[in-house]
C-alpha cells in the first residue's frame, strides 16, 4: 500500500513538472519574461472566480497583469500585495476579454458567466461568421493580454432570424478549476495597441501597470446591455 502511495505521488509530481515545462514552452513566443506562481487559495464564493497566488509586488507583479497556463489565458491580476496577488479568472462574471476567431478572423468579446466551463459571447450578430469548434485567440487589443494566445473554443451558436444577436457559448481552454500553478507574464504590446498606463511609484520594480480590461469593457457593454443582456437573461457587466 505504501509503495502504491509513493507511485501516485511520483506520478503527480511528474505530471506537475510536465505542465510547468509546457507553460514555459507555450509562452516562449508571446512573453518577454515569465514567472511561475503557485495557487495558495481559491475563493469559495461561487459567484467570484478568484485565486490567491504566492507572488506579489516584491517580484514585480502589477495590477492588470496577464496570467496564463499551458493551454490558454487564465485571467489577470486584480489586487497586488507584498508577497501575494489576487487573480480574477476569465470565467468570473465581472471579467471580459477581446477575442478573435482563428478561422474567420471575427473579433468580439468573451464575457465570464460565473461558470468555469463556459464563457458567453453576447455581441455576436446573427450574420457573423462564427461556428461551433472555432478556436478563439486573444487579440492583444488594449495591451492587457499577449496577442494570439488561446482563450476558448466555441461550443454553441444559436441564431434566431428575428433577433439581432446570436446565443454563443465557448469553453475556456485553460484549466481554470484544476491548476495548481499559473504563469505571470511580461510582454511588449504592439506600438499601435499600446494601452493607457499608470507608472508605479516603486523604482525597484519599475513597470507600467495596464488598466484592467474589466473596466474598459464595462463602458462598452453599457450601451449594448439593454438590447443583448436583458434579452438573454444575463445581467450587464458590473451589475450585482
Helix (H) or strand (E) holding 78: strand 73-80
Per-residue pLDDT, 35: 94
Per-residue pLDDT, 6: 59
Only one residue has cell 461556428, namely: 131
The 8 Å CB, 24+ separation contacts for 228-236 are 228/122, 228/123, 228/164, 228/165, 229/122, 231/163, 231/165, 232/120, 232/122, 232/165, 232/167, 234/113, 234/120, 234/122, 235/93
Which candidate, 101, 96, 226, 223, places its Cα nearest to that of 157?
A: 101
Reading the block at residue 99, the C-alpha cell is 477575442
Task: Report the distance separating Cα 94 and Cα 49, nearest Å.
Answer: 9
Reading the block at residue 2, the C-alpha cell is 505504501
Instruction: DSSP letter for 7, please.
Output: H
Which candidate, 135, 180, 159, places its Cα nearest to that of 13?
A: 180
Residue 6 Cα to chain centre, angstroms:
35
pTM: 0.73
Which candidate, 53, 29, 32, places its Cα nearest to that of 41?
A: 53
Q: What is the pLDDT along the chain (240 residues), one digit of tens a residue?
A: 666 655 665 555 556 656 666 666 666 677 789 999 999 999 978 889 999 999 999 999 999 999 999 999 999 999 999 999 999 999 999 999 999 999 999 999 999 999 999 999 999 999 999 999 999 999 999 999 999 999 999 999 999 999 999 999 999 999 999 999 999 999 988 765 444 333 333 333 333 333 344 433 444 444 444 444 434 333 333 333
**Cα–Cα distances in Å, from 10 out to 4, 179, 180?**
10, 18, 16
The alpha-helical segments, DSSP class H, found in the chain are 2-27, 213-232
Contacts of 2 (CB under 8 A, 6+ apart): none
Per-residue pLDDT, 158: 98
Per-residue pLDDT, 130: 98
Per-residue pLDDT, 86: 98
Amino acid at each position: 500500500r505504501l509503495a502504491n502511495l509513493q507511485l501516485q505521488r511520483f506520478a503527480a509530481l511528474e505530471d506537475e513538472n510536465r505542465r510547468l515545462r509546457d507553460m514555459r514552452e507555450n509562452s516562449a513566443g508571446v512573453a518577454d519574461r515569465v514567472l511561475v506562481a503557485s495557487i495558495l487559495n481559491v475563493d469559495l464564493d461561487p459567484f467570484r472566480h478568484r485565486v490567491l497566488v504566492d507572488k506579489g509586488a516584491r517580484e514585480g507583479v502589477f495590477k492588470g497583469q496577464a496570467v496564463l497556463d499551458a493551454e490558454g489565458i487564465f485571467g489577470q491580476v486584480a489586487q497586488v500585495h507584498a508577497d501575494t496577488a489576487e487573480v480574477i479568472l476569465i470565467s468570473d462574471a465581472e471579467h471580459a476579454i477581446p477575442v478573435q476567431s482563428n478561422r474567420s478572423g471575427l473579433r468580439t468579446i468573451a464575457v465570464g458567466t460565473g461558470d468555469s466551463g463556459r464563457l458567453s459571447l453576447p455581441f455576436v450578430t446573427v450574420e457573423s461568421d462564427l461556428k461551433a469548434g472555432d478556436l478563439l485567440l486573444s487579440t492583444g487589443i488594449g495591451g492587457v493580454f499577449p496577442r494570439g494566445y488561446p482563450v476558448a473554443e466555441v461550443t454553441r451558436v444559436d441564431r434566431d432570424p428575428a433577433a439581432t444577436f446570436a446565443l454563443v457559448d465557448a469553453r475556456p481552454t485553460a484549466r481554470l478549476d484544476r491548476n495548481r500553478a499559473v504563469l505571470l507574464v511580461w510582454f511588449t504590446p504592439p506600438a499601435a495597441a499600446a494601452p493607457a498606463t499608470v507608472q508605479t511609484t516603486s523604482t525597484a520594480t519599475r513597470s507600467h501597470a495596464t488598466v484592467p480590461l474589466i473596466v474598459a469593457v464595462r463602458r462598452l457593454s453599457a450601451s449594448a446591455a439593454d438590447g443583448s443582456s436583458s434579452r438573454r437573461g444575463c445581467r450587464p457587466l458590473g451589475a450585482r
